[in-house]
Amino acid sequence: MDLEGQIEQVVRQERDLVLDHLTEDDAWELGSWIRQRASDGRWPVVVDVRRFDRPLFYCALPGSTPDNPDWVRRKAATVQRFHRSTWRMKLELERDGTTLQDRYGLSLADYAAHGGGFPLVTHDSGVIGCVTVSGLPQRMDHLVVVHALHSMAAMRPSALRLPPLPDAP
């Protein structure tokens, strides 16, 4: 799929992966869903689910590195600022031949346009937080989150067609 097709796919995911609500229990369920698959696959990831005002779920699995929490922080900051997935930000910046720093003057020490951060959106409140995964190749970080949200979302009749979740490298 070409770059524009990938961007359109992510825009559809962002539009369709909307939750009816997000309670603390929902966040725990979402994070636990990701953690279980990561544990089964022996994926060396950090998982973070948060409202923008507070963390709701966090775990670091074996093999994750001290860099992964920093990637999570930077990806979450990007989702909070732009209300878009970090994979979409990466693809759009790549398409336009620029960076977060060049286009927006943002420090790459504080923001990251790398897949794995995705907005948490509810029907009533809009974007209220994000779910972030770090530790796998960035497209897979993104797909893990999309699959997890798909498992929870109140899907519209035209349900998303998700690419299969690949094995970790």
Residue 27 has pLDDT above 60, yes or no: yes
Nearest CA to 144 out of 158, 132, 130 is that of 132
pLDDT, mean over the chain: 92
Q: How crowded is the C-beta side of 2, counted as CA atoms within 13 Å?
A: 2
Q: How crowded is the C-beta side of 6, counted as CA atoms within 13 Å?
A: 17
Q: Return the C-alpha torsion angle 110, 112, 117, 122, nearest 10.
A: 60
Whether this model's pTM surpasses 0.85: yes
76-97: per-residue pLDDT in tens? 999 999 999 999 999 999 999 9
Summarize the confidence of residues 88-112 as an average pLDDT: 97
Alpha helices in the chain (DSSP H): 3-16, 24-41, 67-82, 86-96, 100-104, 138-152
pLDDT at 151: 87
Q: Are 30 and 57 in contact, with CB atoms under 8 Å apart? A: yes
Query: CA-CA distance, 86 to 90, in Å (whole number)?
Result: 6
